[in-house]
Structure 1
């Protein structure tokens, strides 16, 4: 498997582009680079990210794997047509005053707050799963991730429902997508029903480097580690290659809306 085969593209900023055409062009460029894993969530872009990805993948769903998430309240379903919503959002951004400048810092970001003491019931998971399948225009979801919570948040009936979906082939894999520091307090037994751990990786999170060895039976997906995709003055691909090398059995997830710079970074990885 090549380095590019182990990359994934995060669609968190997809709905922030100026139009569906620009979102489609970005996704088309990413697909042309050989990236075949796309990660989204109902809360990304107020629900429009899933729709944009689903529209793009219509007719080529068999070429890719899709990850989406559940567990965070996503509010009301989008009501405006996606193109109109994106234009209004772009107009709103132009009319907003520029943010005040902030002082650069090398301090690592603080860990997320503890998970909300909120119980996730079966009905909520059923509703979220059905809504994501409709938005993504797919019968199956390859990777279904518990978003910013831990397995203990799930009611037993909710977990049973997820396991039934996986057994029926409606879900390929089950995973947890939370701040990696939260996994440090877990035992392998608490993750027995889960296939994937998705979390931040890089110099700002040194404690996360032990997670692949702590949970060797899980597939690990790194994200938020690719400062090389930003214009930070370093050689393209350096950060990306470092993450791929550090996670030989897993995947590396990145997100950017700058297709030229994505090409520079991915192209620097080589075969």
Structure 2
């Protein structure tokens, strides 16, 4: 697989990175470790995680895996969304939820949108009109030290402010203290680089108003999105295979004339969900040639299939044509 410089860390890594949001979620620890190993054995050398992933257990699972391979991989973790409280109730909820999510994987997105806030816990969302009070120097130090310990490493290659907004950083006078914590962590070798990992709609204002925090940006990109001009900051992208892929497949299959025309123009059978998914992933790679592209998987064969897509140059031009079609005709599917 192609190797590229990893952000501004001074290290190199693979074009494809393994997104760990599903680790210790629908998968138990044994299955999660198996997926991490499968990704590594397939050639993936970048792994992305966060303290809140996998009911708060994803970092420790990745840390267990890293014992054997830390020097050969790059890792990203984040600060800004704390792990859920660990108590008997939440532990029981994990046991109950895991097999349900394995059977109905789409339920995870529904639950994220409909979760009932619990005052005094990490499930209590900050109203969008208010700055998130977690982004302070003190909490940043504590989160970094906790992640280093949980991952079992003395350094993190990339550390991102998780779901941060410009308002979070401009609404308080002490944001220079937070920046100093991050810069000191780079100086001390605890992190290689830092940046912002947020929704794509938040990135432009963050870059405009808080460029010092946006030395790397991680956000969504799929064929629904326009091409991104060259940026002064390195980028990492995820969600290339939009969660709406099944809707897109259904729309194309229900519109035979459009599907045939698109398939002819692209040079691939877009009625085939597997082919469409391959080209959507490839589009993320070819349209963002200097970026790491994250993917997630719960099956080893899907990991291998994604590696094949990354290495298959015959898909480059069909993927570019697919992206051009999306930008020109805008299928009626929510991005």
Stretches of structure 1 lacking an aligned partner (at least 5 in a row) = 103-112
Residues 212-266 of structure 1 show CA distances to partners (whole Å, capped at 9, x for unaligned) of 43xx2111111111259x7861326322221111111111111121221221121
Alpha-carbon spacing, 1:95–1:241, altered in 2? closer, same or farther (3 Å):
closer
Counterparts of 2:28 and 2:207, CA distance in 1: 45
Question: Cα RMSD between the aligned structures?
Answer: 3.1
Runs ≥4 in structure 1, deviation > 6 angstroms? none
Picking from 166, 173, 178, the partner of 1:158 is 178
Counterparts of 2:311 and 2:207, CA distance in 1: 37
Shift of 1:126: 0.9
Alpha-carbon spacing, 1:247–1:94, altered in 2? closer, same or farther (3 Å):
closer
Shift of 1:172: 0.4
Contact 1:17 1:90 in 2 (8 A): no
Shift of 1:187: 4.5
Contact 1:13 1:45 in 2 (8 A): yes
Equivalent residue runs for 1:197-236 within 5 Å: 197-206=217-226, 209-210=227-228, 212-213=229-230, 216-227=231-242, 233-235=273-275
Stretches of structure 2 lacking an aligned partner (at least 5 in a row) = 4-12, 108-126, 170-174, 250-272, 313-335
Identify the range of structure 1 (39-48 vs 152-161) with the bigger mean alpha-carbon deviation.
Answer: 152-161
Picking from 136, 157, 161, the partner of 1:146 is 161
Equivalent residue number for residue 2 of structure 1: 2
Counterparts of 1:62 and 1:189, CA distance in 2: 36
SS in 1 for 2:311: coil
Residues 151-204 of structure 1 show CA distances to partners (whole Å, capped at 9, x for unaligned) of 552422111111111122211011101011112234456213432110010134
Picking from 9, 18, 21, the partner of 1:12 is 21
TM-score, normalised relative to structure 2: 0.66
Alignment partner of 1:245 is 2:286: yes
Q: Which has the larger radius of gyration?
A: 2
Give the structure with the larger helix fraction. 2
- What number of residue pairs does the alignment pair up? 248
SS in 2 for 1:267: helix
Shift of 1:79: 6.2
